[in-house]
Structure 1
Amino acid sequence: MARVSQEHLDARRRQILDGAARCFARNGFHATSMQDVLKEVDLSAGAVYRYFSGKEELISAIVAEVLETVRDMYERAALESPPPLPDELIVRTLTHMTRERSAVSEDGEWLFPRLMIQVWTETLRNDELSAILREGFAKVSAAWAKVVVRYQETGMMRDDVDPDAVARTLVATAQGFGAQYALFGGFPPEALRAGMRGLLSMRETVEGAG
């Protein structure tokens, strides 16, 4: 029997993860069954279980992959000269996420923010997923901190600023955008860029000036 190529195996795994992500984003983790996933990806149970033992392993793989992708984007940004400003880098990340196949429904709706909310909820009861999320969050924050250090090295930010504090604030900005999009919709990444640029344009007032 001919051996299955690694390319084929990787493509099949990608197909399963993308389909599962769409299911979880649409209907929630607990309301989605493995049968729903099988129907979404149009594969047999044997084909899917060859890669994943069940929903828990699927959601853990999705979370780990997303966080790794975001971390890699920030790691590369830290190597740019000069590094991209925060508004540009966050929007670049969000735009990349909207282009992922698993992030968009058949009618063009961006599903990733809804998936993000589902993951947060599930981590409150799933210790293994919580550990994966915490580890991934720490890596993403550390990558952002590297970008902040580059801001300082290039004179774009004061030296007395705590890189970790800035990193956590920027991560919170991206998370907040996702939460607003999931709950209310109608908030494109470009609007976030405009808002951040407005904040970045502020200057401290000198007491007694005028």
Structure 2
Amino acid sequence: MPRLTDARKELRRAQIAEAAVRCFGRNGLERTSIAEITAESGLSAGSIYAHYRNKADLVQAAARAVLAKRAAVLDEYAASDVPPDPDELLARLIAAIDPAEARVGVQTWGEATTNPAIRGIVVDMVDRMRAMLHDCVTAWLVKVEHHEPAEARERATPIAHRVLALYQAELLYAALRAATGETVS
């Protein structure tokens, strides 16, 4: 059998993680089986286990996949010549919420209260998201509001914290609306 290249391995891992996000979003973390993820991904169980040891690894991969999407958007905002102000940044993040991903996020937060491995993932993801938001707000303060970089970094801290809190509230709202089949508006 031909060996997979590193690039092909990463594509397979992403394919599996995306299937896991869809399954977790539909069925919940607890009720989703590896068999369902296998069927959703179109791969064999052996292929799943060649890339992930267990469901906890898949939860971690799913959380990271969701964050990676947000990271790409936030990096783009921070690097732009005219970064969005905090209100616009929040509006753009809210507009990009995928209801299935929101459900996975909220379920992962709940699981983090009792599962130390998941708690570590969630704390890491929230810290990374906060840091990315901080970078975006700092860039806006420097490039648009013309603050000195040191002052901008200091001022950005509470603003980024509030943006993150409001974003998390919107994720919860989207997850609850998705669970009832309502559309998010």
- Compute the displacement of 1:97 (Å): 5.3
Q: Distance in 2 between matches of 1:150 and 1:15?
A: 33
Give the AA of the match of 1:144.
L
- Compute the displacement of 1:155 (Å): 5.2
Contact kept? 2:86, 2:137, Cα under 8 Å? no
Question: Gaps (5+ residues) in structure 2?
Answer: none
Q: Residue 177 of structure 1: which of 165, 170, 176 is its match?
A: 170
- Compute the displacement of 1:119 (Å): 0.8
Q: Distance in 2 between matches of 1:155 and 1:22?
A: 39
Contact kept? 2:86, 2:159, Cα under 8 Å? no
1:74-99 CA-partner distances (Å, limit 9, x unpaired): 2332222221123433343455554x
Question: Gaps (5+ residues) in structure 1?
Answer: 99-109, 189-210
- Compute the displacement of 1:154 (Å): 3.8
Q: Distance in 2 between matches of 1:120 and 1:182?
A: 12
- Helix, strand or coil: the match of 1:111? helix
Q: Distance in 2 between matches of 1:149 and 1:11?
A: 34
**Residue 157 and residue 170 in structure 1: after superposition, are their counterparts in 2 closer, same or farther (change >3 A)?**
farther
**Share of identical aligned residues, percent?**
27
Q: 1:196 matched to which residue of 2?
A: none
Q: 1:126 matched to which residue of 2?
A: 115
Contact kept? 1:74, 1:144, Cα under 8 Å? yes
Q: 2:134 matched to which residue of 1?
A: 145
Q: Distance in 2 between matches of 1:187 and 1:136?
A: 24
Say which structure is richer in helix. Answer: 2
Q: 1:38 matched to which residue of 2?
A: 38
Q: Distance in 1 between matches of 2:44 and 2:139?
A: 49
**Residue 94 and residue 9 in structure 1: after superposition, are their counterparts in 2 closer, same or farther (change >3 A)?**
farther
**Residue 3 and residue 187 in structure 1: after superposition, are their counterparts in 2 closer, same or farther (change >3 A)?**
closer
- Helix, strand or coil: the match of 2:51? coil
- Compute the displacement of 1:72 (Å): 4.0
Deviation beyond 6 Å, 4+ runs, structure 1: 157-161
Q: Distance in 1 between matches of 2:109 and 2:65?
A: 15
1:127-162 CA-partner distances (Å, limit 9, x unpaired): 122112212211221221222223332453886983
Q: Given the two structures, how large is their TM-score scaled by the length of structure 2?
A: 0.82
